Amino acid sequence: MVMVMPGSGFNSSSGFGAGLVGGVEFDEKDASSVSRVAGVEYTVPLYMSTVKAEAGGNETTAYLFGVNEDYFNLMNEEAEFGELFTKSDVSSKAKVAVIGSKVAEELYGDDENAIGKTVRFEGMRIKVIGVVANTGDSQHDTSIVIPYKTTFGSVNPDKTFWAIYVGVSSKEDIESVKEEIKSVLSKRYSEDDFSITEQTEILSMINQIFDILNIVLVAIGSISLVVGGIGIMNIMYATVTERTKEIGVMRAIGATERDILLQFLTESLILSVFGGLLGLIGASLTVLVVRIFFPASISLFAVIITFAISSGIGIFFGVFPARRAARLSPIEAIRYE
Amino acid sequence: MIKLQNVSKIYQLGEDKVEAVNKVSLHIKAGEYCGILGSSGSGKSTLMYLIGLLDRPSSGKIIINGDDVSKLSDVELSKVRNHKIGFVFQSFNLISRFTVLENVLMPTKYTKGKLDFDVHKKAEELLKKFGIYERRNFFPNKISGGQQQRVAIARALIMNPSVIIADEPTGNLDTKTGNEIIKLLESLNKELGVTVIIVTHEKDIADRTNRRIYMKLYTGTV
């Protein structure tokens, strides 16, 4: 699959930053000129946005794709339930949609139930005619796919596309098709205003960026955890010193070394778990904001990991001050002023 | 009841060895009301901490109720302190974050296993008896010194100990309140048969006890 996108994009030395932003917006004329290039099997104009979809009182954020019927061939999509839309649906601007299974579940409870129902977004009422199988890819599973001509109007008044996807009949033709599309589009646009890339190039590029981002985030997170842990340790040392006399009294009335150790360990544990809880609340609020633009959620796994790590930090950094408290000699502690 | 045999405690202060307690042998019987007397620096506090099992002797044996406690582990010593010994301190040493009632109940929190009496009922009885029941939900800094010392005595009594060790219990109180506290300790000895050991440097207080143990200055002997 070859992608025609705005911006100087991925194949320029200026790097990723220049891509996706600015550049041209393609229209139907570009799509038809691309489709006439020799070796091109499918041409799919692609309109994309995020919408708040609603049905029967349920609401969810989804990716809206405006495409033609070749999209399903290009993506190797089949309907799990119902059917896909056809060429005549596209030309007649039919108000029909094929949706991802996650959207179906959020709006109608389950996949099969969605067929024949109506979904509303951006002031349009669209009939669900098909549901595509779950792939685990969140963008795919939270998509609503409709004929691109149906987007013309309230959703896409400029009748433009974000990209044009091209399917090539045989692998050997890819380079020549790329060259040919480039020369066709160069008649309308400057060469810096668009880019032609294979899907695999983009994928590896994006994966690389996310890998680096992940490493940076994990590094920052680990440093924060160590700094936070040392903070807890200092607070606990201060607490132990401040309460030395109290520890002496407790030992006098029968507390064992273990009692004192557990008491201070519990305190540092409560401190750190409370920190973890605050972090989760912060993350939830962030996710709530991000949800307006992209589908996002916090997994149960993340919650469990948060509590596990914050408890671990509390115990690890709490053990040293707690041990000092437990090992104080009772009489020295009582005499401490 | 409590027997000390040739007990010594030596502190290492820099180069010097300080013999705070030197080969002391004592026998305090159950139900006795006795005072440990001596000027400051005579080692009476050290002797008291040894009897109270807060410190271990450098040499010699401490025997309580026939058991040699010199060789007990920390857990076992803590258990003996918890069940058999009640401490009353000069500066009361109540925990300021807890209310009066919670302070009295503190020793019960460190008891492993079940107690054969209702601790709340017992705490309330003690507070009523000492005339501070109305103050049970106050924090220690909101009540007077005399009242705080009564709370401390109630805390010392909650576990039904056989010995109460009072370290200068009147040191932070005026004469009148101090007298009341001493009377209270006397009555505990008479009515409940609790062994009471008062550590003091005031002769008036010592004179009221039934037996006086004098610590000699600098030698650490009795």
Q: Which carries the bigger pLDDT value, residue B118 or residue A136?
A: B118
Quote the pLDDT of residue B220: 65
Quote the pLDDT of residue A23: 65
What's the CATH number for B29-58+73-214?
3.40.50.300
Report residue A12's pLDDT band, with 50, 70 and 90 as the boundaries: very low
pLDDT at A17 over 50: no
Mean local confidence (pLDDT), A123-138: 87
Q: Determine contact, residues B28/B34, Cβ cutoff 8 Å.
A: yes
Query: DSSP 3-state assignment of A159?
Result: coil
Mean local confidence (pLDDT), A162-173: 86
Which of A112-116, A178-182, A253-257 holds the top average pLDDT? A253-257
Quote the pLDDT of residue A71: 92
| Mutation choice for A interface testing from B78, B104, B165, B172 by most A CBs within 10 A | B78
Quote the pLDDT of residue B41: 73
Quote ipTM for the complex. 0.89
Report residue A9's pLDDT band, with 50, 70 and 90 as the boundaries: low
Q: Determine contact, residues B39/B200, Cβ cutoff 8 Å.
A: no
> CB contact, 8 Å: B89 with chain A?
yes
Q: Which carries the bigger pLDDT value, residue A262 or residue A133?
A: A262
Over residues A91-112, the pLDDT tens digits come to 999 999 999 988 998 898 888 8
Percent of chain A past pLDDT 90, that is, above it, reads: 50
How far is CA B168 from each of CA A46, A68, A251, A252, B149, rounded to the nearest angstrom? Answer: 90, 95, 19, 16, 11
> CB contact, 8 Å: A18 with chain B?
no
The interaxial angle of helices B175-187 and B145-157, nearest 10 deg, is 20
Q: What is the 3-state secondary structure (H, E, C) of chain B?
A: CEEEEEEEEEEEECCEEEEEEEEEEEEECCCCEEEEECCCCCCHHHHHHHHCCCCCCCEEEEEECCEECCCCCHHHHHHHHHHHEEEECCCCCCCCCCCHHHHHHHHHHCCCCCCCCCHHHHHHHHHHHCCCHHHCCCCHHHCCHHHHHHHHHHHHHCCCCCEEEEECCCCCCCHHHHHHHHHHHHHHHHHHCCEEEEEECCHHHHHCCCEEEECCCCCCCC
pLDDT at A144 over 90: yes
Q: Which residue has the tokens 């009147």?
A: B170
- Indicate the range of A55-59, A240-244, A247-251 predicted with least confidence: A55-59
Quote the pLDDT of residue B217: 60
Q: Determine contact, residues B76/A276, Cβ cutoff 8 Å.
A: no
- Which residue in chain A has the smallest CA separation from B93? A249
Q: Which of B75, B95, B106 sits opposite A256 (nearest CB)?
A: B75
- Tokens representing A92 are 């007649």
Cα separation of A124 and A155, whole Å?
9
Decide if A334 and B79 are in contact by the 8 Å CB cutoff. no
Decide if B81 and A259 are in contact by the 8 Å CB cutoff. no
pLDDT at A285 over 70: yes
pLDDT in tens, chain B (222 residues): 888 988 888 887 778 888 888 888 888 889 999 888 887 777 888 888 899 999 888 889 999 888 888 888 989 999 999 999 999 999 999 999 999 999 999 999 999 888 888 999 999 999 999 999 999 999 999 999 999 999 999 999 999 999 999 999 998 899 899 999 999 999 999 998 999 999 988 888 888 888 888 877 666 666
**Beta strands in A176-275, from DSSP E residues, in sequence order:** 194-198
- Which residue in chain A has the smallest CA separation from B107? A253
Residues in chain B within 8 Å Cβ distance of A256: 74-75, 78-79, 110
Quote the pLDDT of residue B187: 92
Report residue A204's pLDDT band, with 50, 70 and 90 as the boundaries: confident
Q: Which carries the bigger pLDDT value, residue B132 or residue A199?
A: B132
Query: How close B209 gets to chain A, by Cα (Å)?
Result: 24
Cα separation of A259 and B109, whole Å?
10
How far is CA B169 from each of CA A164, A187, A318, B18, rounded to the nearest angstrom? Answer: 91, 103, 36, 26
Residues 6+ apart with CB under 8 A from B100: B94, B127, B132, B135, B136, B137, B138, B139, B140, B143, B151
Query: How close B179 gets to chain A, by Cα (Å)?
Result: 25
Decide if A334 and B110 are in contact by the 8 Å CB cutoff. no
Decide if A250 and B110 are in contact by the 8 Å CB cutoff. yes
Strand partners, A243: none
Rg (CA), chain A: 30
Mean local confidence (pLDDT), A229-242: 94
- Which residue in chain A has the smallest CA separation from B155? A253
| Mutation choice for B interface testing from A249, A251, A253 by most B CBs within 10 A | A253
Cα separation of A145 and A53, whole Å?
12
Cα separation of B62 and B68, whole Å?
6
> CB contact, 8 Å: B106 with chain A?
yes
Residue type, A111: D
Cα separation of A60 and A119, whole Å?
11
How many residues can be counted in chain A?
337
pLDDT at A15 over 70: no
Per the prediction, chain A carries an average pLDDT of 88
Mean local confidence (pLDDT), A218-241: 94
In terms of Cα–Cα distance, which of B85, B125, B79 is closest to B101?
B125
Quote the pLDDT of residue A5: 83
- CB atoms < 10 A from the CB of A43, how many? 22
- Tokens representing A188 are 């309308």
Q: Which carries the bigger pLDDT value, residue A10 or residue A43?
A: A43
Query: How close A260 gets to chain B, by Cα (Å)?
Result: 10
Query: How close B150 gets to chain A, by Cα (Å)?
Result: 16
Query: How close B95 gets to chain A, by Cα (Å)?
Result: 7
Residues 6+ apart with CB under 8 A from A230: A317
